[in-house]
Structure 1
Amino acid sequence: MLSLASGYGIRAIAFLAAQAPGKLSGAREISASEHIPKPFLWKVLHKLERKKLIRSFKGVGGGYELALPARQIRLIHILAALGNALPIFGCLLGLPPGDEKICPLHSSCKAIGDEVEKLFAQCTVADLVLRKPVQRRTQRPKRHSSRVK
């Protein structure tokens, strides 16, 4: 399974990729937009910076930007930077690796896991940004009363 950090990392990098070229985005802006807790986001951003996927600029007007073009950053790079081990999927029954003969789902799950890993190796951040964005709600919709007055 993907770690929480990996999910946050993908979302943060996709956010940066969607910004205008040269625009720096602060951690608070990313946190608010993507609904990622700031302390967790700072740790994720630090790891992504250490692996040279993003750059940070300190001081007033500072922030983060991609270190590479979005089309050169593959999802597998983000997972590796954040320590998400491959294979992503383990045994659905919780059996340890090597128990293929015991697990009746092993061959099916392995095939699915291999396809998912191939997808992460092929899909770039640019691919994510080019997809139609999902409108995020900042608040829950108000409930309307169905009573007739």
Structure 2
Amino acid sequence: MTVTIYDVAREARVSMATVSRVVNGNQNVKPETREKVNEVIKRLNYRPNAVARGLASKRTTTVGVVIPDISNIYYSQLARGLEDIATMYKYHTIISNSDDDPAKEQEIFNNLLSKQVDGIIFLGGTLTDDIKAQINRASVPVV
């Protein structure tokens, strides 16, 4: 069974808002309360729900990366560097290999947009008119 913020709050005998403050690093929590909540979080193995967090903040902290050929050393090193930078800023990456196929790139764009990524990095491939139109309609930044 998945442990929820409700379970942590009940076990620690605090409000859900207090648990949320502890999880998000808000300093407006007494040190002894923070310690108690963190102990319960650890004991119950609680992990915040990224989907719920994304719904509340309207951000997924996820960036899509479209690569034409992941087996090409240039693109694989570029993907590694992008992922390192994203991680440094607490973002996640979804790396997609298009095989330099415009139809597959179109499908990847649709998939990334449906996952509500916060941005898309397009590293080459073919910018067809359909993909250009899709980029123009996208509600997320595309570089």
Alignment TM-score, normalising by the size of structure 2:
0.26
Alignment TM-score, normalising by the size of structure 1:
0.25
* Greater strand fraction, Structure 1 or Structure 2: 2
* Greater helix fraction, Structure 1 or Structure 2: 2
- Where relative contact order (Cα < 8 A, 6+ residues apart) is larger, the structure is 1
